[in-house]
């Protein structure tokens, strides 16, 4: 899965990244079932590693999910984190800033949501909205955008130096796939609550968003906070890629089960 990692300061072209890619798994019933079975194993392993992370209380993990509307951020969280204990996991969503948040620097509200030691934090959209939607809609200047990118890099470096592992996922879907998903929302009464006419307006700016994502991903991917371009047209493969990378990050921490309390002889201990 490391092939989806964005090299820092690379010349990125999302047109060359295939959102239909399914790696070593063919887009057949057999291929899907094999991938889903492995994903199930990975989510089980993720649950074990998350318990160890929680028990140690020395490290934390931050997962950042970005992508166009209907790219599958909610679905990724639902499936990949299905085996995680909710006590050790927190999801934060960053919508339009409130008046109070606007009265502070743009990272003020973000730092408050960073996972504590022992926790997994998930950003469903994130601080990157402040260099994506604001840039596309020309709400900030090129100069301010550059300043914010530098501030984001320094912010993430601060988190990493204090024990937070960071993984950032760009869920890459095609414009045609987005069209199908938006149409599915319209047709299904149970999914219409997800639909917003604003999604259609943002869709008109697809090319601008792709350019903005290319610049942001290239500028802010780093060894301590890498970006991964996840092929997301096939939901089953998207889940596999993300689950594999999350498990890999937790295993890299090499956390062990904490020792039992000192002075307790468990061989002779009796509970009455």
| Domains with residue ranges and CATH for the chain | 2-252 (3.40.50.300)
* C-alpha to C-alpha distance for 122 and 117, rounded to whole angstroms: 14
- Are 185 and 70 in contact by the 8 Å Cβ rule? The answer is yes
Q: What is the pLDDT of residue 96?
A: 87
CB-based contacts of 80, cutoff 8 Å, min separation 6? 39, 43, 46, 239, 242, 243, 246
Q: Render pLDDT for 251-260 as a digit per residue (tens, 0 to 9).
A: 999 999 888 8
Instruction: Give dist(CA 261, CA 265) in Å, integer.
Output: 9
Is the model more confident about 267 or about 89? 89
State the pTM of this model: 0.94
pLDDT tens track for 141-182: 999 999 999 999 999 999 999 999 999 999 999 999 999 999
Q: Provide the pLDDT confidence category of residue 88 given band limits of 50, 70 and 90.
A: very high
Strands, E, within the chain: which ranges?
60-67, 89-93, 120-124, 164-172, 227-231
Q: Are 59 and 162 in contact (CB under 8 A)?
A: no
Tens of pLDDT, residues 187-200:
998 888 888 888 89
- Calculate what percentage of the chain has a pLDDT beyond 70: 100
């Amino acid at each position: 899965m490391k092939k989806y990692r964005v090299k820092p300061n690379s010349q990125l072209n999302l047109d060359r990244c295939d959102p239909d890619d399914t790696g070593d798994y063919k887009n057949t019933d057999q291929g899907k079932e094999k991938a889903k079975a492995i994903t199930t194993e990975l989510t089980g392993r993720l649950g074990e590693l998350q318990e160890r992370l929680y028990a140690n209380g020395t490290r934390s993990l931050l997962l950042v999910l970005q992508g166009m509307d209907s790219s599958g951020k909610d679905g990724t969280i639902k499936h990949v984190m299905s085996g995680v204990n909710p006590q050790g996991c927190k999801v934060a969503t960053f919508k339009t800033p409130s008046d109070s948040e606007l009265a502070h620097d743009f990272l003020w509200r973000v730092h408050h949501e960073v996972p504590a030691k022992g926790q997994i934090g998930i950003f469903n959209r994130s601080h990157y909205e402040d260099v994506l939607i604001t840039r596309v809609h020309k709400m900030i200047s090129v100069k301010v955008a550059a300043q914010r990118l530098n501030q984001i890099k320094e912010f993430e470096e601060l988190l990493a130096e204090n024990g937070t592992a960071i993984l950032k996922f760009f869920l890459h879907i095609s414009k045609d796939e987005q069209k199908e998903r938006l149409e599915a929302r319209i047709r299904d009464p149970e999914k219409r609550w997800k639909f917003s006419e604003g999604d259609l307006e943002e869709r008109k700016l697809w090319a601008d968003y792709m350019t903005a994502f290319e610049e942001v991903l290239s500028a802010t991917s780093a060894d301590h906070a890498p970006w991964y371009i996840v092929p997301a047209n096939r939901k089953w493969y998207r889940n596999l890629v993300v689950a594999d990378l999350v498990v890999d990050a937790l295993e890299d921490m090499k956390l062990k089960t904490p020792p039992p309390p000192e002075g307790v002889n468990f061989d002779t201990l009796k509970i009455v």
